[in-house]
Amino acid sequence: MPDLLPYPALYASHGGIWIADADGTRGVGRREAVTRAADTPIIVLNAPLVAQRLGYPELSGLDLLELFAFVHPARFMVPTVKGLAAATGLESPAEEALSAELLRHAAAVLVERMRASGWAERDGAWSIGVTLSRMRWPWGPVVTSAVARPDEAERGLFARLPEWEDQPPRPPARPISIAAPDALARLDALTGDDRERREGQRAYAVAASGAFAPRMRRDAPNMVLAEAGTGIGKTLGYLSPVSLWASEARGTVWISTYTKALQRQLDQETGRLFPDLHERAAKVVVRKGRENYLCLLNLEDALQGGFSGRAAVLAQLVARWAAYTRDGDMVGGDLPGWLTSLFRRNGSSALTDRRGECIYAGCPHYRRCFIERAGRASAQADIVVANHALVMVNAARGRDVQNRPTRIVFDEGHHLFDAADSMFSAALTGQESIELRRWVIGPEGTSRGRRRGLAARLADVASYDTEGSAAISAATAAAQALPSDGWLARLSEGAPFGPVEALLSAVRGLVYARSVAEDAGYGLETEAAALDGPTVEAAAAAVVALDGLLRPLIALGGRLEAVLDEPPDWLDSAARARIEGAIASLGWRRDTLAAWVAMLGRVGGPTDPDFVDWLAVARVDGRDIDVGLHRHWLDPMRPFAATVLKPAHGVLITSATLKGGSDWSQAEARSGALHVEADVRTFEVESPFDYARQAAVLVVTDVARGDIGALANAYARLIATAEGGTLGLFTSIRRLRSVHARIADRLARENIPLYAQHVDPIDTGTLVDIFRDDAHASLLGTDALRDGVDVPGASLRQVILEGVPWSRPTVLHGARRAANGGQAYDDRLIRARMAQAFGRLIRRADDRGLFVVLSASVPSRFLTAFPPGTPVVRVSLDEAVAQVALRLPTVTPLLHQGA
Ligand code: SF4
């Protein structure tokens, strides 16, 4: 056993607080724990969580999660005592009271690993350890005494990262079709001989193959809409034609998901196609939006003094990770999701390229850039695993037209409508417009960092091309009309500056004038109709200002194109790439501005029936955070069809809940299929699960609506009876927090850990990891957990829905409801949400579970949303609790809290 460090360890849960030191372990009160933590360096696990449990926000200490991130960067660990025990090869404690002692032993193991000669992540540790020590990182002295000083100076991070290489473009994909026997043979190879032959999956694979036939008419992709009930194995079902087509046609298939969870799962499933890791790395590329990836230039800036305090420590730990990461993905990739939460997100977003400030080939790290690498790799890959938003962005404004997606599988296809809705919308708000101002002008006043405006980014073009230079100057001058720092305060003081702030001020005034008092504290909105004279006049003045910016940006785009068409001597490949990058980001800004101008052009005039326009004040905890005008398509599948479907050759849209009704009309409307002249084929196969035996729906009829105490009591009783393993779903964050506050301690006394989105300082992905890892844990959450949580087995055996998931009564919802059949439209949405929530419960043939709806009055028409055969009963809470006790499988015994 390695030597223990001379520090005590502190463990705090809802069930109690313990301190372990050289004298043993003892339970302590909150006051003593706080005093001890304030006086002595103390070992903890997840300091923000401990701080919250102690009610002592200043808590800092020797956080084992930070040490783990240093010792094993880019390695996964569930951030709980159990997860830490597994990661350090220790036995998980049998009593919660022994957890503090385990923390001390885990620290010793991690320190010992740094001393061991075979430590895989040694490279770079010495230099970063010394730097962290200088920053007074609590683990600094421990690390520098454990890590041996290398004989030769370590290479810096940027020199160690590999460079990508340009590859010639791929020839166009060959026109081939996939015969059913070939798709089935590939499916058999993927599922293995020992697997039960699943007829549904085989039929699905054949149906999915239809999307890969050669296209016969322009703008008419081969479209297949396929609903495959849970458990069919649809991923391998479509991977078989996907992989066949990619290898035979020598083309790329994009597989798109809505949730990161499915994207991660798909990436793992492709391991069956390419068991060899190197081959897989070349053939399968996971891509996300650029704001997910580490920007090396931003990291360099942070390491060289751009960050201070805790953010600077995070930058060093991210630098440690950057040397070992597979792909540089900071959000849902191999950077532990909990790492940035430890720093309260301090600085993490500044390490990615969120604001489109990339300077492309002008960047010293361009050839090592993770984003550029992923983009190039995807052009050569067989399979690109992406998300709906990125597929749409690439189809709409991908830099390389040759590489825009033409064969696409949209999994989680029931979310295409929502993804298209946000992609093809416009929002002229204070936050959006100040971003545009910064992008054009660059840093102003006291702002720091390396952000540069257009003039600095395109200095070489400006000095070469007089017209280009004039356009940049004109754009810089016009951008002065956009809101600047302090705009929100000026709005609330009634002293806006410039035409756009004046418009936002008028918008804010109208929104408040038309709101009802009950709305206070939440986002407020009102339809953009019957506007008053001052607002219409302010909109007209803002149009002039925005148009004044749009024109020079259009002119500049033209000049940049001209420079590329007739290249001057100085235009080497790096400068060309940089100008191409500038053209792409200019195009995006121009589109945004044009959409704003079009939206404002309608203010005061007749409404455009294709759009829904409204004014809104976004608020958090009763404070304004943004103000603006919004425009969404009434039917966002129209621009989606024009931008994504028509240029594509083959599209498979699939999901477990795609159809959404007794016929395919809804799926055709919500997938965009109605707007293309294609022969759309449909296919459906039911889940193979025996829902009558595996599940039941209990509608609890005696929990009064609006009675938060009764709601909390119902949650507590149901969770306690199930001994955890419960996913609790809410439609309101406020109610979620209220219920959590009432039941967390009560459940803790029964040794049932309870986690909650919007309460625990832990990111959602990590919360699900924790929940999956502990069969006694329960998790409360909102929309993001209703879909995209895949927890097979005993860890999820009960789903509780707080009530009917009604739609929020927004302006947009009201307009769509009116245009799509009123109540029938609402009903379809609610049934779909209930079906998605139910879908979390039974993931495997041996799963058992109960779905509980706490609502006295669920209309019967919603209760057919569940898979055929699922028993549905209306019961009292007492009866529901009895059913839970009777029907749910027993899992391992609960931990004891101990002395
Ligand atoms: S090329 Fe762009 S995104 Fe990549 S490191 Fe440089 S500035 Fe960042």
How many Å lie between the centroid of ligand 1 and the Cα of residue 293? 10
Choose the residue to mutate in 353, 376, 452 for probing ligand 1, maximizing ligand atoms within 8 Å of C-beta.
353
Question: What is the C-alpha separation between 606 and 215, in angstroms, rounded?
Answer: 41
DSSP strand pairing (24-27 vs 16-21): antiparallel
Query: b/e for 389-408, b at 16 or more Cβ within 10 A?
Result: bbbbbbbbebbeeebbbbbb
Q: Per DSSP, which regions of 176-301 are E strands? A: 222-228, 253-257, 284-286
DSSP letter string, 91-135: PPPSBGGGHHHHHHHHHHHHHHHHHSTT-TT-TTHHHHHHHHHHT
Choose the residue to mutate in 295, 300, 359 for probing ligand 1, maximizing ligand atoms within 8 Å of C-beta.
295
Write out pLDDT tens, residues 632-658.
Answer: 999 999 999 999 999 999 999 999 989
DSSP state of 352: B
The arrangement of strands across the sheet holding 43-44 comes to: 24-27, 16-21, 9-13, 43-44, 62-63
In one-letter notation, the amino acid at residue 744 is A
Main-chain dihedrals φ then ψ at residue 654, nearest 5 degrees: -145, 155
pLDDT of residue 484: 93
Judge whether 891 and 805 are in contact, CB under 8 Å. Answer: no
| Nearest ligand 1 atom, CA 364 | 6
Main-chain dihedrals φ then ψ at residue 522, nearest 5 degrees: -120, 180
Question: What is the C-alpha separation between 290 and 298, in angstroms, rounded?
Answer: 13
Using a 6 Å cutoff on CB, does residue 299 contact ligand 1?
no
Question: What is the C-alpha separation between 764 and 756, in angstroms, rounded?
Answer: 9
Q: Which long-range contacts (CB under 8 A, 24 or more apart) does 810-816 make?
A: 810/525, 810/614, 811/525, 811/526, 811/527, 811/612, 811/614, 812/612, 812/614, 812/632, 815/612, 815/634, 816/612, 816/634
Choose the residue to mutate in 365, 370, 450, 457 for probing ligand 1, maximizing ligand atoms within 8 Å of C-beta.
365
770 three-state secondary structure: helix
DSSP strand pairing (426-429 vs 407-410): unpaired
Q: Whose CA is nearest to atom 4 of ligand 1?
A: 369
Question: What is the C-alpha separation between 387 and 372, in angstroms, rounded?
Answer: 18
Q: Which long-range contacts (CB under 8 A, 24 or more apart) does 738-746 make?
A: 738/708, 738/712, 739/708, 739/711, 739/712, 739/715, 739/780, 739/802, 740/780, 742/708, 742/709, 742/712, 742/713, 742/716, 743/712, 743/715, 743/716, 743/719, 744/14, 745/14, 746/716, 746/720
DSSP strand pairing (754-756 vs 222-228): unpaired
Question: What is the C-alpha separation between 257 and 263, in angstroms, rounded?
Answer: 6
How many Å lie between the centroid of ligand 1 and the Cα of residue 360? 6
Q: Whose CA is nearest to atom 8 of ligand 1?
A: 295
Q: Per DSSP, which regions of 748-886 are E strands? A: 754-756, 778-781, 798-801, 849-854, 872-875
| Nearest ligand 1 atom, CA 357 | 7
Judge whether 103 and 64 are in contact, CB under 8 Å. Answer: yes
Using a 10 angstrom Cβ sphere, with 0-12 exposed, 13-18 middle and 19 or more buried, the burial of residue 136 is exposed
87 three-state secondary structure: helix
pLDDT of residue 897: 44
DSSP letter string, 699-719: EE--S-TT-HHHHHHHHHHHH
Question: What is the C-alpha separation between 834 and 803, in angstroms, rounded?
Answer: 10
Question: What is the C-alpha separation between 627 and 618, in angstroms, rounded?
Answer: 6
Judge whether 634 and 612 are in contact, CB under 8 Å. Answer: yes
Q: Whose CA is nearest to atom 2 of ligand 1?
A: 358
pTM of this prediction?
0.89
Tokens of 385: 């695993």
Choose the residue to mutate in 296, 325, 439 for probing ligand 1, maximizing ligand atoms within 8 Å of C-beta.
296
pLDDT of residue 898: 39
Tokens of 255: 């597989």
pLDDT of residue 880: 96
**Residue 43: strand pairing partners:** 9, 62
Question: What is the C-alpha separation between 200 and 215, in angstroms, rounded?
Answer: 27
How high is the mean pLDDT in each 10-residue block of the chain (899 residues)? 89 90 92 90 93 87 96 94 95 90 96 94 94 95 93 86 86 93 93 71 96 94 95 94 96 93 86 89 90 92 88 95 94 88 76 77 88 88 94 80 85 95 96 91 67 77 82 93 94 93 96 75 84 93 96 92 84 78 85 94 88 93 90 97 95 92 89 91 94 95 91 96 95 92 91 91 88 92 82 90 90 95 91 92 90 91 91 95 86 51
For the chain, the straight-line distance linking the first and the last C-alpha, in angstroms and rounded, comes to 25
616 three-state secondary structure: strand
Question: Cα 631 vs. chain centroid, distance in angstroms?
Answer: 23
pLDDT of residue 547: 95
Q: Which of 495, 520, 525 is nearest to 508 (CA)?
A: 525
Q: Which of 295, 344, 387, 262 is nearest to 763 (CA)?
A: 344
The arrangement of strands across the sheet holding 872-875 comes to: 754-756, 778-781, 726-729, 798-801, 849-854, 695-700, 872-875
DSSP state of 368: G
Tokens of 186: 């590939």
| Nearest ligand 1 atom, CA 366 | 1
**Contacts with 834 (C-beta within 8 Å, 6 or more apart), sequence order:** 801, 804, 805, 853, 862, 865, 866
| Nearest ligand 1 atom, CA 298 | 8
Using a 6 Å cutoff on CB, does residue 301 contact ligand 1?
no
459 three-state secondary structure: helix
